[in-house]
Structure 1
Amino acid sequence: MKILTGNDLASGDVVWWDGMGWSRDVNDAVDVGDQDAAILAAEEAAQRVNASYAIAATQTAEGVRPAHIKDRIRALGPTVRLDLSLRPGDPDAAKQVI
């Protein structure tokens, strides 16, 4: 599975390509197959996102899991203060990073 990530130009938030636009939730990410370069070029040209790139991921029972730990941390938010994470009420959120 190949998904796209980047940063929203308006807010700076980490975002994930959901097939029609960008979402803050990694579980909305869709497999882009071999369309990654075309989608990234169009979205950067439209100035909706910057620093965008394609990453490997897998679909698990818990949702989409980026293959690299850097992107798992980007997906969940800060790891040192769980109250600032994207899932502050989920006591198991930090376990998804490892």
Structure 2
Amino acid sequence: MKLLTGNDLPTGDVIWWTGGDWSRHVEDAVDVGDKGEAIARAEDGARRVNAPYVIDAEPTANGPRPAHIKDRIRALGPTVRPDLTLKPADPAAGEWVI
């Protein structure tokens, strides 16, 4: 089984390809098979995702499970409490300018 993952452009959140859109939940991901690279190129070109890539996964009763520990950690969300992260010196550093 192959999954497509990347990061959401506005938020940086880890996202997973659902077959027609993106989800923040790995349980929603679908097997992209051999079409993953083509989908990644199209989605990257459409600026809907940052740095998409294909990973190996295993199907389970609760949805797909990434095969590599790095991607399992990414699927679970942040590994530190947000209140313990470094705060930027510039309060506006986290704001998006479009």
Q: Deviations over 1:39-76 (max 9, x none)?
A: 00100000010111000001112321000000000000
What percent of counterpart residues are identical?
Answer: 70
Q: Root-mean-square deviation (CA), in Å?
A: 1.1
Give the distance between the partners of 1:62 and 1:44, measured in 2 at CA.
28
Q: Report which of the two structures shows the higher radius of gyration computed on alpha carbons.
A: 2
Match of 1:77 in 2: 77
Match of 2:6, as an amino acid? G
Q: 5 Å matches for 1:1-98? A: 1-81=1-81
Structure 1 runs (4+) deviating above 6 angstroms are: none
Structure 2: how far apart are the matches of 1:63 and 1:52? Answer: 20
Q: So what's the TM-score if we normalise by structure 1?
A: 0.78
Residue-pair matches, total: 81
Gaps of 5+ in 2: 82-98
